[in-house]
């Protein structure tokens, strides 16, 4: 079963010989696919077959949230931004919850058909109307609305055999800066963050949330390290106060918001020491190899939670698939 703590990525549409070699390394436990790795369903089928031939146990992930963040499009249902569910919830809460569940199921079902284990979803951040990088990726501005809608979306994912990952703990919606490009700073009091932004995470943990991805955000009134490198946020708050025993994924260690932690090896060390189960190193193959060498030299091993994220078998319901695609189309018309 998957035990390696590094998740990395691929350069193109098919595996290179060097990528086959690195994927065989037992310290590589995950692979994340991007738009550059996808052209159409036939190509994805071929790519996944070649990946599974090398590592049947490898955790394969993608960001397939919907809206702006959907890596696979050709041959997949176009998914609306989650904010459209929040808008529908204001008009018809019961219908919105049903639609959220069906969209979660649809997203997961289409990916599981290609033997992809997880999409890093749902987004549990609040839309404070401040963050361009979050924006309509958030279900809503109200924490209670996010909790019920994301909970329904997660339930649909689970029905399709996919584990759910809530992001970006304890909340990325307040800060304006994009952590891909700079280090965001949130100067609010801990009580403001925990009582509001963190509530969807707390609520979904009680509903069986499988994994969490922390934010590359510094909450200066709480800790001087970004949440993903903070023992206080990940162990004291997430593990102890909220009782979370699922997987913690780092966000991408190549993002500018992670640079405060030092070299790539130091970023890996700080993330793991803070409580992460797996570190992501994306879009920089040399950095991924540097981190892999460091993991091997340091003897870093997983805490044993990672196999929980592997996809589970499920049977596609064609009638449900057609109905869910109609829901996606209806919500897209609202979005337009």
Residues catalogued as catalytic: 180, 251
The tokens describing 66, both together, are: 């919907």
User: What DSSP letter does each residue of 299-324 carry, written as one string?
Assistant: T----S-GGGGS-------HHHHHHH
User: What DSSP letter does each residue of 29-59 carry, written as one string?
Assistant: EEEEE-GGG-SSHHHHHHHHHHHHHH-TT-E
CA nearest neighbour of 124 among 56, 191, 209, 23: 209
Q: How far apart are CA 80 and CA 144, in angstroms?
A: 21
CA nearest neighbour of 174 among 147, 194, 144, 160: 194
Prior bond of 144 cis (ω within 30°): no
The tokens describing 92, both together, are: 């018809």
**Total length of the chain:** 336
The tokens describing 70, both together, are: 């959907």
Q: How far apart are CA 188 and CA 199, in angstroms?
A: 16
Vertex 9, ends 165 and 4: CA angle to 5°?
A: 65
């Amino acid at each position: 079963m998957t035990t390696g703590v590094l998740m990395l990525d691929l350069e193109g549409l098919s595996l290179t010989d060097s990528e086959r070699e690195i994927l065989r390394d037992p310290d590589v436990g995950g692979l994340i696919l991007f738009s550059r790795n996808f052209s159409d369903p036939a190509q994805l089928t071929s790519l996944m077959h070649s990946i599974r031939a090398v590592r049947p146990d490898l955790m394969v992930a993608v960001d397939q949230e919907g809206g702006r963040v959907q890596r696979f499009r050709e041959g997949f249902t176009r998914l609306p931004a989650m904010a459209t569910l929040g808008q529908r919830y204001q008009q018809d809460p019961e219908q919105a919850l049903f639609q959220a569940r069906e969209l979660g199921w649809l997203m997961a079902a289409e990916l599981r058909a290609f033997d992809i284990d997880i999409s890093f979803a749902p987004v549990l951040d609040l839309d404070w109307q401040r963050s361009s990088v979050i924006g309509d990726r958030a279900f809503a501005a109200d924490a209670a609305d996010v909790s019920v809608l994301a909970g329904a979306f997660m339930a649909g994912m689970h029905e399709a055999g996919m584990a759910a990952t809530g992001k970006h703990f304890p909340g990325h919606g307040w800060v304006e800066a994009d952590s891909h490009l700079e280090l965001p700073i949130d100067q609010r009091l801990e009580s403001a963050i925990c009582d509001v932004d963190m509530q969807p995470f707390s609520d979904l943990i009680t509903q069986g949330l499988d994994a969490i991805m922390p934010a590359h955000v510094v909450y200066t009134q709480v800790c001087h390290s970004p949440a993903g490198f903070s023992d206080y946020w990940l162990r004291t708050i997430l593990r102890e106060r909220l009782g979370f025993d699922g997987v913690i994924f780092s966000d991408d260690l190549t993002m500018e918001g992670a640079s405060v932690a030092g070299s790539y090896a130091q970023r890996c060390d700080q993330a793991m020491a803070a409580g992460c189960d797996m570190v992501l190193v994306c879009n920089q193959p040399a950095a991924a190899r540097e981190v892999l060498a460091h993991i091997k030299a340091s003897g870093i091993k997983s805490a044993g939670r990672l196999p929980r994220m592997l996809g589970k078998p499920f049977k596609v319901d064609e009638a449900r698939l057609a109905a869910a695609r109609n829901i996606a189309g209806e919500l897209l018309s609202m979005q337009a």
